[in-house]
Chain A
Amino acid sequence: MTQSGQSVEAPMLELRHLSKIYGVDEAKVFALDDVSLTVRKGEFIAVMGPSGSGKSTAMNILGCLDTPTSGHYLLFGTDVTGLDRDQRALLRRYFLGFIFQGFNLLARTTALENVELPLIYQGIPADERRDRAMEALTKVGLQGRADHRPSELSGGQQQRVAIARAIVTKPGLILADEPTGNLDSARGREIMELLVQLNRDEGLSVLMVTHEPDMADYANRIVTFVDGKIQSDRVRDHHAA
C-alpha cells in the first residue's frame, strides 16, 4: 500500500487483494493476482505494462464492467464487489466516465447527441441535457462542431467528443483506455494536455492505461503491471518535468 497518510478522507477507490482468475483447475490463469491499489481524489494515474499484464482486466474491474474473482473493490468507501449488472450500470452512469482507444462514438449521431447520451440515461430533461452537453463540448474546444457527425470529424476531434461525453455527467473518475492509441503524437499530446487540464481545473481523477512512456509522463503517478501483479507504483514530480 502506498499510503502517504496525508488525509483522513476515504480514498476514492481502493482495491484490496483483488484477483481475477480465468479458466479452472490446471487451465487457471491469474489475470490479476492479489492486487491492492489505492487512488485518491484528484490523482492522474498512468497504468502501464505489457499486453497480458492484467492492466486491461484491472481497468474493466475499476470501470465496473467486470467483477473480480476474489478480493474487494471499494469505490468512494463503499464495497461494490458484489453488485449485480444493473447496480454496476448505475455506478457507471453516475460516477464514472470512459474514454476508449477507438473513441466509440455512435456513428450517424451528432457530436452533441453523443455527448448527451449519458444524460439521457440519467433522465435529464432535453433542455438541460442540451445545455450541459454544449458546456462539455465547449470545455474540449468543440463548441463549433456540435452538429458534426463522427465521420465528419478528425480523430483528435472525435476523441475530444468522447472526452466531453465522459465529463458531461461530472463523474468522480475518468477511465481512459489508451486514449492516444489511435492518434498521431501531436494529436495525442493535445488530448493529454486536455486531460491534464481537466484533471487540474475540474478536479477530475483520471486513470489511464497507456503503453507509451511519453504519454505516461503526463500523469503524476505511474503504476506498472507485470504478470497480473503491480510491479512498480511511483509518484512523479510532475511539475518539475
Chain B
Amino acid sequence: MIPELGIGIGWRSAIDLTIERMAGVDFVEVTAEHIDPAAVPASLRVLRERGVPAVVHAVTLSLGSAEPLDRARIAHLAAVATALDAPLVSDHVAFTHAGGLDTGHLLPVPRTRAALDVLVTNVREAQAELPVPLALENIACLLQWSDAELTEAQFLSELVGRTGCLLLIDVANLHANARNTGTDPAEFLATVPAEQVAYLHVAGGVEHDGIYHDTHAHPIAPPVLELLGRACEQLRPRGLLLEWDDRYGTDAEIAAEVAVIRRVRDLVQTT
C-alpha cells in the first residue's frame, strides 16, 4: 500500500535548518548517496523524531545498465532506508555507469523490449534486496535513442506490470522532455498506471534558446505548475515534493515554492 505523504521537500544539508523550521512540510526526501546510515545527520533525526517521514532517493543504482548490479549501492540504499525507517525508496529509469565508466549523469535507457528486459531483471534483483517498495522515476533527457519501440509511458507501464514497482513521476522532467524532445505529456499522463504512482517531483528550471534546463535552482516555471495541476488531476498522487538543489533562495522563497505546490494540490482536490 502506498503511504499518504502530503507535501514535501528534498532534504539537503545546506538548508537543513530551513526545512526543519518550515511550516507545511509533511515529508522529506533524502538523497541516499549523501547519507551515512551509521551517522544520520542531526537534522534528519530531529525530523524523524517529529514523525516527519523520510523517503530515500538514489541516483546511482544504474538500473538500466546492461550489466550486473552494483550490490554495494543496493546495500547502501537499503541501509539508509532502514536507518530512516523510510516507507519507500526510489531511483531512476536510467543508467549512470557501464563498462567501468561513470557518466556523472542520468542517461536514458533505449525504449526497446531488449532494454526493458534488462531493466526488469535489474529492478527485480534490487527489489529482492530492498526492505521497502521501490519507485522509479522518469528522467529529463536531451537526447532520445533511435528506434524506440515504446513511448516512455508505455515503457514505464510495462515495467510496472512486470515488476510491481511504484512510479515517481517528475513533472518538471515531463515538461523538459516535451519541450526538448517533443514527447506528449497528455499521452504520458493518460497511459501510466495512476494507482502505482507514489508521488510527484516538481522542480524549477529555466529555458534558454528554446531548450528547457531542469536546473533545480530556479523558481518553478509556470508551464510546469500547469502540468503539475494536470498530473494531480489524472494521477491523484499521494505526495508532491519540491526539489531545490542549488542557489537556494531565502527561507521565505523556498517556503513560497512549497506553498505553491500545496495550493495546486488543494485546488485539484476541491474540484
B partners with A? no
Contacts from B to A (Cβ < 8 Å) = none
